Structure 1
Amino acid sequence: MKTRFCPLCGAKMKRSGKTSAGRTRWRCTSCGASSVRRIDGAAKLLALFLGWLLGRSRQADMPGGGRTFRRKTASFREIWPMPPKVEAPGRVVYLDGIHLGRRAVVLIASDDERALGWHLCRAENSRAWSALMSRVAAPEVAVSDGGDGFARALRGTWPGTRHQRCVFHAFCQVRRYTTRRLRTQAGAELYGLARALLSITTLGEADGWVQALLAWSERWDSFLAETTRGEDGRATLTHEGLVKARRSPVRLVNAGTLFTYLDPGLVRDGPLPSTNNRIEGGANAQLRAMLRDHGGLSIERRLKAIFWWCYMHSPSPLPAAEVLRVMPTDRSIAAIYERPGERERLEGTIPRWGDAIVWSELHHSEPYRMDWD
């Protein structure tokens, strides 16, 4: 048995007989205080539940079988693990969202090793991004795929942070409009330019790429301006897809977010990433694998599974017993919503809880969407 220490003075304790219930009594050798060792069964069950959730075991393989396991761990399915407040600024933070159909998205912020924050919302918008970012200290560089409302949230929440737009997503944006089945010479050249983004490593190469894009735009300007009249007599752009494909990289060049990773003032402390593959191939890939391994979960349980994964990969997760004591549950949130006047107090905690866990959106259907900026 491990050495026990006095909770009052910190000195070593020794065995001192047994209590009337048959438990071993421990007495401090310094101050004389006595206590018994209590085993927290709920904490052990929570560890068992998380071992199943974050692993690849089936419920039937757990001790006691599937039915016993579900009965003993049913209370843990109500817990919403909330993100900590990260006050130590980092150099690079990756931001991305994992979508669960059309009903919800979990926005996630991470560094190279840990999940720093997560936020549940109905769709990506500036309000949701701001709620996530307000809980994390502003980094030097934020890497993202350019989700809706992110640029606005960055200006308002992390005004001193530089933005690096993921170059792979910039390439994919062009590829979406040109497709791989290139039918025009203009499309083939633009596709080649977008693909070249993935191999740029110096400022000189970046400047050359920008000049090549401008030259391409001038060379094919009249071609892209061609219009076609439909049966209703309205004129539309003949090559609308190419026009949209050109608009995307031009906007990024004008915003100055495409080659932040090459800025001399930033790279003197070490190289910077040009993509957010660290979160796409790290956190998001592991989250999707977990959801596949536990197929059949309801939307709410999938959200909680994502929250649990993020929490257990956060900088300093609390011990299981403390988690059970402080984390909100379905019942505690419902009780607040049922009391008049308490709902306003709950919604005041949105930056801390994460959109108040979008309780009203998950449990009440609204006829109109309320997620536009």
Structure 2
Amino acid sequence: MKLVKNGRNTAGNQRWKCPTCGASTVRKRPDRSRAFTLQRFLGWLLGKDSQADADGSASGRSFRRATQWCWELRPHIPLTGEIHDVLQIDGFNLRTGWCILTVRAGGNVIAWQWCARESQAAWSALLARLPAPAVVVCDGGTGMHAALAEHWPDTRIQRCLVHLQRNVRKYVTTRSKTSAGKALWGLALKLTRVQDLDHAAEWLQLLAAWEEQYLHLTRERTYRAQATETPSWVRPTQQWWYTHQRLRSGHQALRRVLRAGHLFTFLDPALASLRVPATTNAIEGATNSQMRLLLLHHRGMPETHQRRAIEWWLYMQSEHPDPARVLAEHQHRPATTPPPPRREPEPGPALYDTGLTPEEGLWIRKGWAGRS
């Protein structure tokens, strides 16, 4: 029998009525309901409103109860095997001790990997899933470069010039008291202003001039037998150390990258059509800072919810995000089946019971005690 429309209920849903018996019902669409709930959940998770604001109540308890199952969804970006010209890679550390490694191409996130720290094994697990690009832009993590040499040996590397500046600043600071330290920090500041090959040649000349004037300072040594005081970082068994250790480390940070050929890769004429960036500002500003802001808006989440929030944010920054596909791939937990009935053994002769037996001396006695 075909049902006919019979108005709407108080919730605004269409009500259907059987013309024969007069019974009315409302058609249930759990798939649409779950999709709508997931949409509400992502709107709150990727925004800055509180759960009370999303629910319209004082506590947001009903919102938490309705969206509790959404935390079980684990989005992932499918691997397409596409070969990208330029990739940017970086790591982001959470306060809970987790670290997430991300890969970005053309403004979109294409892969991520959870780990405890930016080790070679963690980067290898991520890079092994992706085809090698022409150029990769990254910072100076040792584990990262070891994984790049293992999985992408033919890929050109461009070191982030901003990170290199920070490395030099860590050693010589911005307010060095020596002329050598001030000159080295000024040289590092000019690094991000290099725009073409002529600027690069001028910068290399400035570096050569600095080395001609101050390089001997990086080789001076202090011996324990002649020292009046010992720095705190010197080992107890160490007999000598470099006098200007921090100046030496700042200079070596620049020389190491220049010697590896990773300083001005973005100026290579053969790569001009790829428009290789000189920094990882795109992934730092568009990915890492946004994840940090997301955790700030929803501070107080447990560790598992923080990780799920990061995964959803990265997934929505991919090229083709589709929450409906994630919902369709999610396998619902099977209903808990009742345990099989326990089969009791057949009752036999009672070894221990609650009845009274004369053998135990508990038979009801008559007459005065002690009389037969």
TM-score by length of 1: 0.74
Larger C-alpha radius of gyration, 1 or 2?
Answer: 2
Amino acid at match of 1:323: V
Cα deviation 1:88-147 (Å, max 9, x = unaligned): 222221111110136110001112321111110000012211222233333221111122
Decide which of 212, 228, 233 is 1:218's aligned counterpart: 212
- Take 1:278 and 1:317, find their aligned partners in 2: how far apart are those partners? 20
Amino acid at match of 1:53: L
Amino acid at match of 1:50: L
Are the aligned partners of 2:96 and 2:303 in contact in 1 as well (CA < 8 Å)? no
CA-atom RMSD in angstroms: 2.6
Query: For 1:149, what is the secondary structure of its paired residue?
Result: helix
- Take 2:323 and 2:174, find their aligned partners in 1: how far apart are those partners? 51
- Take 1:235 and 1:59, find their aligned partners in 2: how far apart are those partners? 61
Decide which of 156, 160, 175 is 1:181's aligned counterpart: 175
After TM superposition, give the deviation of residue 78 of structure 1 in Å. Answer: 2.7
Alignment of 1:231-246 (within 5 A): 234-246=239-251
After TM superposition, give the deviation of residue 22 of structure 1 in Å. Answer: 6.3
Report which stretch shifted further, 256-265 or 195-204.
195-204
Aligned to 2:262: 257
Counting helix residues as a fraction of each chain, which structure ranks higher? 1
After TM superposition, give the deviation of residue 23 of structure 1 in Å. Answer: 6.0
Query: For 2:313, what is the secondary structure of its paired residue?
Result: helix
Aligned to 2:329: 326
Over 3 Å counting, the alpha-carbon distance change for 1:219 and 1:134 in structure 2 is: same
Cα deviation 1:274-302 (Å, max 9, x = unaligned): 00100111111211111111111122221
Cα deviation 1:288-344 (Å, max 9, x = unaligned): 111111111122221111111001111222342x31343589x89xxxxxxxxxxxx
Are the aligned partners of 1:86 and 1:135 in contact in 2 as well (CA < 8 Å)? no
Query: For 1:62, what is the secondary structure of its paired residue?
Result: helix
After TM superposition, give the deviation of residue 243 of structure 1 in Å. Answer: 0.7
* Residues 1:156 and 2:159 are matched in the alignment: no
Query: For 1:219, what is the secondary structure of its paired residue?
Result: helix
Aligned to 1:62: 54
Decide which of 305, 316, 325 is 1:301's aligned counterpart: 305
- Take 2:265 and 2:331, find their aligned partners in 1: how far apart are those partners? 40
Decide which of 198, 201, 204 is 1:207's aligned counterpart: 201
Aligned to 2:40: 48
- Take 1:86 and 1:172, find their aligned partners in 2: how far apart are those partners? 36
Are the aligned partners of 2:175 and 2:182 in contact in 1 as well (CA < 8 Å)? no
Alignment of 1:311-350 (within 5 A): 311-320=315-324, 322-327=325-330
Amino acid at match of 1:314: S
After TM superposition, give the deviation of residue 63 of structure 1 in Å. Answer: 2.9
- Take 2:299 and 2:323, find their aligned partners in 1: how far apart are those partners? 28
Cα deviation 1:6-34 (Å, max 9, x = unaligned): xxxxxxxxxx8569x9669xxxxxxxxxx
Alignment of 1:1-373 (within 5 A): 38=29, 39-63=31-55, 65=57, 66-101=60-95, 103-228=97-222, 229=224, 230=229, 234-267=239-272, 269-320=273-324, 322-327=325-330
Report the identity percentage.
39
Are the aligned partners of 1:83 and 1:311 in contact in 2 as well (CA < 8 Å)? yes
Are the aligned partners of 1:86 and 1:137 in contact in 2 as well (CA < 8 Å)? no
- Take 1:46 and 1:325, find their aligned partners in 2: how far apart are those partners? 12
- Take 1:279 and 1:165, find their aligned partners in 2: how far apart are those partners? 14
Are the aligned partners of 1:79 and 1:328 in contact in 2 as well (CA < 8 Å)? no
- Take 2:177 and 2:286, find their aligned partners in 1: how far apart are those partners? 36
Over 3 Å counting, the alpha-carbon distance change for 1:312 and 1:177 in structure 2 is: same
Amino acid at match of 1:324: L
Asked which structure has the greater RCO (Cα within 8 Å, sep 6+), the reply is 1
Query: For 1:40, what is the secondary structure of its paired residue?
Result: helix
Query: For 1:96, what is the secondary structure of its paired residue?
Result: strand
Over 3 Å counting, the alpha-carbon distance change for 1:328 and 1:136 in structure 2 is: farther
Report which stretch shifted further, 233-242 or 296-305.
233-242
- Take 1:22 and 1:67, find their aligned partners in 2: how far apart are those partners? 29
TM-score by length of 2: 0.75
Q: Which runs of 5+ in 1 are unaligned?
A: 1-15, 25-35, 333-373
Are the aligned partners of 1:81 and 1:328 in contact in 2 as well (CA < 8 Å)? no
